[in-house]
Chains A and B, each alone.
Chain A
Amino acid sequence: MAKLPSKRQADINLEDLLRLKRSERPSEQFWNEFDRELHQRMLQTLVKKDPWYLQVMRVFSGRILQSTAIAAAAVLVAMIVVRPAFQSTKLPISVADAQVPAGDVLGALVEVAMTELTLAEATSLPNYESDVISAEATLDEVNFVRDFGMEQMQVAAYDASAYSTDSAQARVAFASAGVASLVY
């Protein structure tokens, strides 16, 4: 690099040199091109597609989300309705074992929950009322086959004082079998 004469150097300071940078200016043609490109890019921003995550969210907020929500609701309702039904089928067995007196076996009430779920029931409020049917009624109304004879029961009930313990256990067992067969 050719050094400047010391006479000239003495007249120049750093600010003078840096001020020369102001003269590095683009031409008018550059600005015309600049304006054209900027307008194009600004228009693109106005019609630009949303980022991918917004698009994904929009898809999920559409039909997929609706169908997913309906399916989830149906599963939820099914869980609410069907689960108590299973629980209620187990209840009479344990109740019969523990609480039903031996003499009232045939007259014991059996709770049967309605386990059949229809679409109308799924969308309406669940009805947890269980039908109360007697053992007699089951013969006609339910496909229930009584697999023990009435005579045996009568014999067992004949001498209640002598066989109270055994017969009571037997009756309980019968009752359990009866309920079980009724339910299943």
Chain B
Amino acid sequence: MAITGSVSKAFAHTEEAPVSERDLDWSVVQRVQAGNVGAFDQLVQKYREHIFSVIYNMTSNREDASDLTQETFIKAFQAIARFKGKSSFFTWIYRIAINTTNTFLKKRSRRRYISYENINEEVTTSEIFERLTAKSRSEKGAMVHELQEKLNDSLQKLSPKHRTVVVLHEIEGLSHNEIAEITKTSVGTVRSRLHYAKQQLQSYLKDYIS
């Protein structure tokens, strides 16, 4: 799971015994359910960037992504008393995020407003970007914006269900099984959607790839 590394840092004090992320989350959830509302903050800190990333790449709008990420956590907070731990908290919160975003996208279908997040400086020094960009610094800057625009535009051309699979697998790094559990579909359906979505993206981004 993509989030395991960052998550384990947040719970470094419990590393003495090998406890799964699911168990760690469940113990925090139980504390919240017992009335320790402040413990919910741990879950927010742990998942906020991943949830934001998913929603941002689904909507291509940073303000909407911020609102929907907050809405996701508020929904989770309101429903956490009913969370029985049958699935992991990770699956549950991702499912809330995906459902919240898809509901939003259906409402927003007629209006399409894009506002990009700033690309982190790391990208300009990455090996992939170095290969993509031209030599001079000014060309680099122009290339960053052009590529960002093209990538987001291509993602927005996909249907929400195909976009979801691409975002969760290619950007968030989740496995097919995890995506199947989050979207409540079969692994075969996930693979099929991913294959189709990547074909579409390749045609949209053919100027950048071989």
Contact = CB atoms under 8 A, between A and B. Distances in A.
Interface in A28-60: 30-31, 34-35, 37-38, 41-42, 45
A17 B205 CA distance: 9
8 contacts: A1-B207, A12-B132, A20-B128, A24-B117, A24-B119, A34-B52, A41-B74, A42-B40
B6 interface: no
A34 B209 contact: no
Contacts of A23: 119-120, 122-123, 126
B171 A19 contact: yes
Contact of B70 (A4, A14, A15, A37): A37
Contacts of B128: 12, 16-17, 19-20
Interface residues of A, number: 33
Interface of B: 40, 44, 48-49, 52-53, 56-57, 62, 66, 69-70, 73-74, 77-78, 116-120, 122-123, 126, 128-129, 131-132, 134, 146-148, 150-151, 166, 170-171, 198, 201-202, 205, 207-210
B122 A18 contact: no
Contacts of A31: 48-49
Given A20-B123, A22-B53, A24-B148, A14 B205 contact: yes
Contacts of B132: 4, 8, 12
Contacts, number: 106
A42 to B, nearest CB: 6
A9 interface: yes
Nearest to A12: B209
Contacts of B78: 45
Contacts of B116: 24
A20 B129 contact: yes
Given A24-B117, A25-B53, 4 more contacts: A3-B207, A9-B209, A19-B171, A24-B53
Contact of B131 (A2, A11, A30, A35): A11
Contacts of A16: 128, 209
Q: Which of A8, A22, A27 has the most CB of B within 10 A?
A: A22
A10 interface: yes
